[in-house]
Every structure is written in C-alpha cells, then in structure tokens.
Amino acid sequence: MFDPAADGIGAIKGGCSRCLELQAIFESHSRTLQLMRGFAPIPAKNNKPTKPAPEEQQDLFPSLP
C-alpha cells in the first residue's frame, strides 16, 4: 500500500523492487509535468456556464408556423 506522493522514498522498506519502480515512475511523471508546464503553461479553464443571448438561440422548429 505504498503511495509515492504521500509516503516518499523513505517509506520503502527492505528495498522492495516494486515500490522502487513505482517511486521512479512517480518522479519521472512529476518531472515530465514540470517540464511541460514550463514550456507551455496550461491555460486557465473557463468553468462558467455560457448562456446564449435570446437572439443567438437556434430555432428548433423552423418549419412550424
């Protein structure tokens, strides 16, 4: 039940090869994300729902009188 983000390398007991590999993967992933964000920062997400103005709404039944 090793969690590299929470426990860190100090929590690996007895040189467990699986835990060491998991730690290496975690460190590589963290470094990759750091490099990607340094190259091109992630733009802020616009979480606000957009409401179209009444004149922008599509007519769902254009053929009806």
For residue 56, pLDDT over 80 is answered with no
Tell me whether residue 20 is exposed, middle or buried, using C-beta atoms within 10 angstroms of its C-beta: 0 to 12, 13 to 18, 19 or more.
middle
Q: How confident is the model at residue 44 (pLDDT cuts 50, 70, 90)?
A: confident
What pLDDT is recorded for position 19?
92
Residue of 41 and 23 predicted with greater confidence: 23
Which tokens in the block code for residue 28? 């590589």
Which sequence spans correspond to the domains of the chain?
A: 15-41
The pTM of the full predicted model, rounded to 2 decimals, is 0.57
Q: How confident is the model at residue 32 (pLDDT cuts 50, 70, 90)?
A: very high
Per-residue pLDDT reduced to its tens digit, 11-31? 988 889 999 999 999 999 999
CB distance 22 to 4 below 8 Å? yes
Which tokens in the block code for residue 49? 């729902």
Question: Could you give the CA distance from residue 42 to residue 54 in angstroms, rounded to a whole number?
Answer: 33
